[in-house]
Structure 1
Amino acid sequence: MALNNLPFIHTIKKSPAIFRQRFQRDQAKTLSHGDPAFRVQYVGTEQVYSLREEEASQVVEQLVSPHLGKGCRDHVLVVRPRYLEVKELSSGRQLTKTYLHDVACCMTDRAHPDVFLYVCKSKRQLQCRVFRCGRREKAQAVTVCLAKVFEAAFSQWHAAYSQGSLPSLSPGSQPLAEGRPAPLDKAGRPREEEPEADSDEELELRMHREFLHRAASLRAPHRLDAGSRDLVELSGEGEEEQVQLAAPQPS
């Protein structure tokens, strides 16, 4: 490259867009603390009444369509060993925190393949949380990552339960009841949730109860439902995206 082009390159590197991208990348790493993290756009949350993929797709259409072609605030979805959380990229403010034992399913949307969603128990109701990932490969990578972390958490619980180090409970589940509405503003945008006040002992007991129910009622309780897509298929398609997310980015 000719030397007279170097000033132009330095100008590009110092431009607001490049600076903003670097800041967002560094901020995402800071918020993740080494756990898998994905830069996404948290579109919103809606209550659902079943785990049917068709109902989740209706929620996606309802939440995503009004935002097509419009800019959305960037967020970071962090998948931790015991829970996943969504934070605002700019401020680090936590919007949601979902424990893995409360996650019922996760998947990419058929009509919008760059959209990732998961359904969870929250405030004694089922909620569908929707994220725009920008690329189909990233949505698949998030799905596979969450499913694998869930499987690891269930396997750890099962090992402790098999060794008799957990209390004996009835495998019966608690029915879901209607609670407060999902935390959305009038425009359908997510707003901050109040953190749950459960103690560590209560969380351990709830995880034990939920996993025990899965073990008693499902043929493959360690596998998180991924809708109509097979996780092996998703792993193959999203493998390159996962590697890129895990690898450090040059400055």
Structure 2
Amino acid sequence: MPLYVYSITTEDHPRRLDGLSGVGTDPSPLRTVTAGPLSAVVSDISEEIRPKRRDLTAHQEVQESLMRDGVILPLQFGYTAPDDLTVRQVLERNADDYLAALARLEGCAEFHVRASQADEAPLLQQILEDLPEARALNDRIREGDRDPGLPLALGELVAHEVQARQEALAADLTEALLPFSREHLAHSPSGTDFLNLSLLVPDEQQEVLRTAQADLAARMGGDVDLRFSGPLPPYTFVT
């Protein structure tokens, strides 16, 4: 029977599964498939699993529950296998890599850090004050110069400067946060964000990281929206 695979643990992980619900319209009980020193947490499925809210939530709750009792390798949503034998073969074939990854992630959780410009007005005003060429273009427009190229030139100049300053701020924030992490990975920002960063944070650094978050937010004032989420299963660092 096909299986949905949630995560990989060491064989001696407690894997307390009572009270947890698996994915699917009619969820099967969670169970484990073990091969040597490794176990996979799975549930039987009889349908194609799609990323519906209920199933995404069930998947995440399993990961978070397991993570509270020890290190895990959380699999991304949607990982399936045709049967128990296939899972055992994968565990056996990749045992050394999985054990090394579990050792690397021991005692850590993932934190996501995102930042966006909460209010662009102060930044735009600062750019006009700092760049004489931008200030001159803006003055010409305000004084009634109807040259159609002026707004485009000003917009391009300001947009380039906004990007440069946000990239510099993202680099500064990353540098300030790296001492609290064992590993990090910078992702391409999306939407209005200029920073999208994943940190692998040891347990003993998590409270210090929260203090650093508050200090950074206070230092930047209300112009930057700095958002932290975690502790989370370390999806980003499962390699």
The interval holding the TM-score normalised by the smaller chain is under 0.3
Q: Which one has a larger percent helix, Structure 1 or Structure 2?
A: 2
Query: How high is the TM-score relative to the length of structure 1?
Result: 0.22
State which structure, 1 or 2, has the greater radius of gyration over its C-alpha atoms.
2
Query: How high is the TM-score relative to the length of structure 2?
Result: 0.23
